[in-house]
């Protein structure tokens, strides 16, 4: 009897190998091909921490026909390009999942060193001669990673023509012969995979009929930041390399000069933030990007940006800390320094996107906010979001405004321009140095409305700098917060920020299918907090859960301090993304329910 075909697709493939095996390239080809075919795709690559380039690489790709929000804790397929690195990840393959591996090694394998000896009884093995297939058609084993992707595509009936286009794009800068060689390796392995009797239950059904084939773009979080910067009209970028923010600078180094704009690699992070604030003072849109250790060095100049009311955008991609910590592991532990990190009452705006599309929106919107409110704006990512790929659809029309500065207008005769004039909305008209008739002074000392140092004005100028930011939560065209799930009273509310919100959504969806009334809220604006919608959700909730990837519960502390409401904390610092199951188990505990039978996926309004 034929097995019943599932109506939807949800397959996660993990490719594991050593640096130099082409692991990341194989994953890149797979995810881009599936996105072009019309599927929803989420992918995340793990690189080795060693600067020398040795060590383990893993590319995880989740392919689905319905919207998903995170990677699954267990993969459906594991492809091993290096058994020594893949063996520890065998336990991350689900029951009756597939393990695809090289079955014709070039030399004798020591006992226990081949992955086939480590499979569980519930795993389904597929031994494939990747090396031989590559050598037979290309006279080289260098394309065995492409052969692995070809075998996978043939085994699951993936659209071959889409892979041809992606492979051609991948090697477009190389000689045409290299493209042809890799396509031949793909084809040879595809035929073997297609003729293999498949034992596992994974299915790749056609994408939904309304899938926008070709309109979806595979982008990483850092790539979306770059696209948002360019669409927002970034004029100058100053940076210093640091994992995991370096790719922002690298991409802008190739894109900004083409537009006649400026990109400068400075000698350190202090120079980078100083140049960014200097450029903002001169009237251009400027930005820098860093991670926790680099941002710590920027704290003094962040205070200057706040005191002098200078627009500046800082992208901070978090990694494990403190100090240099874990450079290639993700964490959400820089929230405190992002919101509070500077001397005195150094107010600033902090945005934290929750997905790749949000990276694009927050990047562009950050420049508008920085100009409108004349303040530094921090966009807070993390390694997981910076390196995560998703299939996204960007707007056809540029959604960002070119200039949001408050104009000065014409001064009356004998009227003196006051750079820090206190107005009804506490935002001063902004003139650029050199504008005729608008001479002014800017200093890091406390000052009066003219910009002249004056301690006696500290009370009212502090009020000015804080009060002007209170309307940020009400800005249009960006969701500073958003509620999902059940409306009205709920048993459990889950509040989250940053990349962890995808796992929160997945857990909430499952909990609702089990009959638990729950809702989830993403908070994008972390400073100043959008308290009105947050308090509304708290008032609707019997229990409140706050999952985050830091040890102290930094966001939970902020919520409790701002609302007076106690919350349940779920804190993890494994260096990897939060597990959906951990969140789901805590939801069940708070709701007083044991795991139940799911009634079917409840689609969200956002889908």
Asked, for residue 67, whether it belongs to a domain, the answer is yes
Specify whether 234 is located in the same domain as 155: no
Residues 271 and 204 placed together within one structural domain of the fold:
no
Distance, in Å, from the CA atom of 406 to the CA atom of 425, rounded to the nearest integer, reads 11
Mean pLDDT along residues 88-116: 89
Q: What is the pLDDT of residue 111?
A: 81
When mean pLDDT is compared across 33-37, 452-456, 522-526, the lowest value belongs to: 33-37
Are 254 and 189 within one domain? no
For residue 253, tell me if it sits in a domain.
yes
Cα–Cα nearest to 453, from 486, 420, 416? 420
pLDDT for position 140: 87
Q: What is the mean pLDDT of residues 37-66?
A: 84
CA distances from residue 403 to 284, 369, 427 in whole angstroms, order as listed:
10, 10, 15
CATH number at residue 243: 3.40.50.970
What pLDDT was estimated at residue 50? 53
pLDDT of residue 304: 97
Mean pLDDT to the nearest integer, 411-440: 92
Are 69 and 194 within one domain? yes
Which of 167, 196, 215 is where one domain is finished? 215
Domain presence at residue 448: no
Whether 143 and 211 share a structural domain: yes
Query: Among 372, 392, 412, where does a domain finish?
Result: 392
pLDDT at 2: 43
> For residue 210, what pLDDT is reported?
61
Same domain, 176 and 84: yes
Residues 207 and 231 in one domain: no
Average pLDDT over residues 130-136: 93
What is the per-residue pLDDT across 264-273, written as a single tens digit (0 to 9) for each?
999 999 999 9
What distances in angstroms separate CA 391 from CA 41, 217, 402, one per listed residue? 5, 5, 27
- 333 in the same domain as 225: yes
pLDDT reported for residue 607: 35
Could you tell me if residue 442 is inside a domain? Answer: no
Give the rounded percent of residues in the chain with a pLDDT score beyond 90: 83
Domain contains 578: yes
What 3-state class would DSSP assign to 352? coil
Q: pLDDT band at 571, cuts 50/70/90? A: very high
Say if residues 80 and 105 touch (Cβ distance below 8 Å).
no
Res. 595 pLDDT band, cuts 50 70 90: low
Q: Are residues 511 and 549 in the same domain?
A: yes
Relative to beta strand 481-485, strand 376-382 is: unpaired
Task: Please calculate the CA angle 89-581-550 and round it to the nearest 5 degrees.
Answer: 85
Q: Are residues 236 and 197 in the same domain?
A: no
Mean pLDDT, residues 425-449 taken together: 94
Q: Please give the residue that has the higher pLDDT: either 414 or 344.
A: 344
- For residue 510, give the CATH number of its domain: 3.40.50.920
Clarify whether residues 199 and 256 are in a common domain: no
Based on the structure, what is the number of domains in the chain? 3
| pLDDT of amino acid 477 | 86
* pLDDT averaged over every residue in the chain: 92
Q: Would 464 be classed as within a structural domain?
A: no
Q: Taking 50 as the threshold, does the pLDDT of residue 572 lie above it? A: yes
pLDDT for the residue 215: 57
CA separation for the pair 72, 596 (Å, rounded): 20
Q: Band of the pLDDT at 1, cuts 50, 70, 90?
A: very low
Question: Is pLDDT above 50 for 255?
Answer: yes
- Per the domain annotation, does 476 fall within a domain? no
Same domain, 61 and 149: yes
Buried b or exposed e, range 225-234, using 16+ CB within 10 angstroms: bbbbbbbbbb
**Which residues make Cβ contacts (< 8 Å) with residue 437, sequence separation at least 6?**
411, 417
pLDDT at 22: 93
- Domain end, chosen from 337, 363, 392, is at 392
Instruction: Report yes or no on 436 lying in a domain.
Output: no
Write out the residue range of the structural domain in which residue 537 sits: 481-591
**Per-residue DSSP letter, 601:** P
CATH number of the domain that 197 lies in? 3.40.920.10
- Looking at residues 158-182, what average pLDDT do you find? 93
Q: Quick count: other Cβ atoms within 10 Å of Cβ 499?
A: 30
- Residue 218's pLDDT band (boundaries 50, 70, 90)? confident
């Amino acid at each position: 009897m034929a097995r019943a075909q599932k109506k939807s697709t949800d397959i996660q493939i993990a490719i594991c190998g050593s640096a130099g095996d082409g692991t990341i390239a194989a994953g890149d080809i797979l995810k881009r091909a599936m996105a072009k075919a019309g599927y929803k795709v989420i992918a995340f690559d793990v690189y080795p921490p060693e600067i020398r380039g040795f060590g383990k690489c893993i590319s995880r790709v989740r392919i689905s026909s319905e919207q998903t929000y995170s990677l699954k804790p267990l993969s459906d397929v594991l492809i091993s390009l290096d058994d020594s690195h893949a063996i520890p990840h065998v336990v991350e393959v689900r029951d009756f999942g597939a393990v695809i591996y090289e079955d014709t090694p070039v030399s004798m394998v020591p006992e226990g060193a081949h992955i086939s000896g480590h499979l569980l009884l519930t795993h389904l093995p597929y031994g494939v001669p990747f090396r031989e297939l590559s050598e037979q058609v290309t006279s080289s084993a260098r394309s065995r990673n492409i052969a692995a992707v070809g075998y996978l595509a043939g085994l699951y009936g993936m659209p071959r023509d889409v892979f041809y286009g992606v492979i051609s794009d991948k090697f477009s800068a190389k000689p045409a012969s290299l493209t042809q060689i890799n396509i031949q390796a793909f084809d040879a392995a595809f035929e073997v995979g297609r003729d293999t009797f498949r034992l596992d239950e994974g299915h790749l059904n056609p994408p939904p009929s309304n899938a926008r084939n070709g309109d979806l773009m595979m982008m990483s979080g850092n790539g979306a930041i770059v696209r948002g910067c360019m669409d927002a009209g970034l004029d100058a970028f100053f940076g210093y390399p640091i994992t995991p923010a370096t790719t922002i600078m690298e991409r802008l180094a190739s894109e900004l000069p083409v537009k006649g704009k400026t990109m400068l690699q400075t000698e350190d992070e202090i120079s980078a933030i100083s140049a960014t604030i200097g450029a903002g003072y001169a009237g251009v849109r400027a930005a820098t990007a860093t991670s926790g250790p680099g941002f710590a060095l920027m704290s003094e100049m962040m205070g200057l940006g706040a005191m002098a009311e200078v627009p500046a955008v800082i992208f901070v991609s978090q990694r494990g800390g403190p100090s240099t910590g874990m450079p290639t592991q993700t964490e959400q532990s820089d929230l405190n320094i992002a919101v509070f990190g500077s001397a005195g009452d150094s107010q600033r705006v902090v945005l934290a996107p929750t997905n790749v599309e949000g990276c694009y929106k927050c990047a562009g919107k950050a420049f508008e906010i920085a100009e409108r409110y004349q303040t530094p704006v921090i966009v807070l990512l993390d390694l997981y979001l910076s390196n995560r790929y998703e299939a996204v659809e960007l707007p056809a029309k540029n959604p960002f405004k070119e200039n949001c500065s408050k104009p000065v207008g014409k001064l009356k005769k004998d009227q003196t321009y006051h750079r820090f004039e206190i107005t009804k909305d506490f935002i001063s008209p902004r003139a650029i140095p050199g504008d005729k008739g608008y001479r002014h002074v800017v200093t890091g000392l406390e000052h009066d409305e003219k910009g002249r140092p004056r301690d006696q004005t500290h009370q009212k100028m502090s009020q000015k700098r804080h009060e002007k930011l209170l309307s940020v939560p009400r800005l249009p065209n960006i969701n500073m917060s958003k509620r999902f799930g059940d409306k009205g009273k709920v048993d459990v509310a889950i509040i989250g920020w940053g990349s962890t919100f995808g796992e929160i959504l997945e857990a909430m969806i499952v909990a609702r299918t089990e009959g638990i009334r729950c809702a989830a809220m993403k908070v994008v604006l972390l400073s100043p907090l959008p308290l009105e919608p947050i308090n509304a959700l708290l008032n609707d909730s019997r229990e409140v859960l706050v999952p985050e990837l830091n040890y102290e519960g930094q966001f939970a502390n902020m919520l409790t301090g701002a609302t007076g409401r106690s919350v349940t904390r779920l804190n993890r610092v494994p260096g990897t993304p939060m597990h959906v199951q951990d969140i789901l188990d805590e939801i069940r505990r708070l709701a007083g329910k044991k795991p139940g039978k799911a009634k079917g996926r409840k689609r969200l309004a956002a889908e």
